[in-house]
Amino acid sequence: MSFGYPKVFLSYCMHSSGLPAKQLSEILRNTGISTFNGDEMANLNRRTNTIVENCEVMVIFLDEEWSRSVAKEIECISVTTRHNKSNWPKILPIVIGGFGWINPQRDLVAFSMMSRFQCLTLKDDASTWPEVLEDIAFRCRQWIEVSATESDTGPITKKLENGRTSTAEQDGQNINSGMNVNVEPSANDSNSIMISYCHEQKHVVQKLLKELRRSGVKNIWIDAENMHKGKGIIETMTEAVNSAKLLICCISNDYKDSRNCMKELKYATTLNKTIVPVVVEKNFVPEGVLLMCIEDSFRFDLSTDDTFGPQYQKLLEALADL
C-alpha cells in the first residue's frame, strides 16, 4: 500500500451511523491505526476512490440510508472489484439496528455484501456498542498485521478462529436465517450463462443468442425466455444472477443509462461473478461505474457486421476457457 494512505476506510452515512463510526475510528487511532471517513475529505484533499483503492480494510456501516446512497454504492463497487482480484482489502459489513429494513430485491448491493462477507450487527442500544466496536477493531488489527507480511488468507483465518469472538460474530454466521431469499445457489444451479442487455439493442442480442446456440452453447439465460408471472423484474434478475456462472453484458449507452441493467452489473460484481463485456453499440466507450466493473476484462466488439464475425469467434474461444 502506498505510504500515507489510511489503513482502514470507514464507509457510513453521517446522520444514521456517524456516531458508532467515529467511535470505532477513535479506538483504532488510539492503537496507532490510521482511518479515513468521508467528512475528512477536505483535510486529506484526495479523491475517495483513490483512498478506497489503497486501504487494507473497509468497514461498511450498512443501514437504510447507506443503501440509498449512490456515492456509497460506488465506494463499495470500487473496493469489491479490487478485492475480487487479490482478496484484499478485507471487507467487514456492519448491519445497523437489525435486519428489518432490508429488502433483498431493492437493497441489492447492501444485501450482496451481507451475503458474501461475514458481517456483524450493531444494535440500536448504544450501551452494547463498546464490545462490538472492540471486536471490529480487533479484526482490523489482525488483518493489517497479516497484510504486512502475507498475501493469502490462511493465517488470518486461523488467527481469528483462535482469537476472541463475540455474540455479534455468532449473529453474523446466521445472517440469512429467517430471510426467504436464495442468496447462494447450489453448485448444480450455478452453471448458466446470463445475457444482460438493454432492449434497445435486442436485435444484436438476438443475433448473438442465435449464434451461441448454433455453436452448441447450452443453458443460456435471457429475460425474454425466463420472465415468470407473479415475479417482479428485480426478483427474477436477482435469482438469475445468483444462478449464473458468468454474465455476458451487452454494453452500450442505453445499458449504462438503464437503472435495471446497472443493478444487474453491480450485483454481479459484488458477488464476484465472471463478467464478459460485449460492445453492442458502435464506438461506445464505457465510463464511470460501468468501466469500474469491467475495466480488467477484454471487451468483444459485436456492434457492426464487420466486427461481429471475427470478434464472435474470439468470444466463443474465451467462453470455452471459462
The residues spanned by each domain of the chain are 8-173, 192-321
Residue 151 vs residues 55, 75, 77, 135: alpha-carbon distances, Å:
14, 23, 21, 23
Supply the CATH classification number for the domain 8-173.
Answer: 3.40.50.10140
Q: Residue 279 and residue 294: Cα distance in Å, rounded?
A: 12
Q: Is the pLDDT of residue 177 over 80?
A: no
Q: Which residue has the cell 491505526?
A: 33
User: How is residue 203 written as a grid cell?
Assistant: 436485435
Q: Would you mind telling me the total number of residues written for the chain in this entry?
A: 322
Residues 6+ apart with CB under 8 A from 280: 197, 201, 204, 205, 208, 250, 251, 252, 255, 302, 303
User: How is residue 106 written as a grid cell?
Assistant: 431493492
- Identical fold at 8-173 and 192-321? yes
Q: Put residue 230 in one of left, alpha, beta given phi > 0 → left and psi -120 to 50 → alpha.
A: left
Helix (H, G, I), strand (E, B) or coil at 321: helix
- Residues β-bridged to residue 195: 248
Banded model confidence at residue 135, pLDDT cuts 50, 70, 90 = very high
pLDDT value of residue 191: 66
pLDDT value of residue 49: 65
Buried b (16+ CB within 10 A) or exposed e, 135-144: bbbbbbbbbb
Q: Is the pLDDT of residue 155 over 60?
A: no
pLDDT value of residue 39: 57
Residue 44 vs residues 10, 49, 291: alpha-carbon distances, Å:
15, 13, 26
What CATH class is the domain 192-321?
A: alpha beta
pLDDT in tens, 269-302: 999 999 999 999 999 999 988 998 998 789 999 9
What mean pLDDT value characterizes the chain?
A: 82
Q: Which residue has the cell 466463443?
A: 316
Q: Residue 307 and residue 77: Cα distance in Å, rounded?
A: 31
Nearest to 10 by CA among 39, 50, 43, 42: 39
Buried b (16+ CB within 10 A) or exposed e, 16-54: bbbebbbebbebbeeeebebbbbeeeeeeeeebeebbbb
pLDDT value of residue 203: 95
pLDDT in tens, 51-85: 777 889 999 999 999 999 988 888 888 888 888 88
Whole-model pTM: value is 0.71
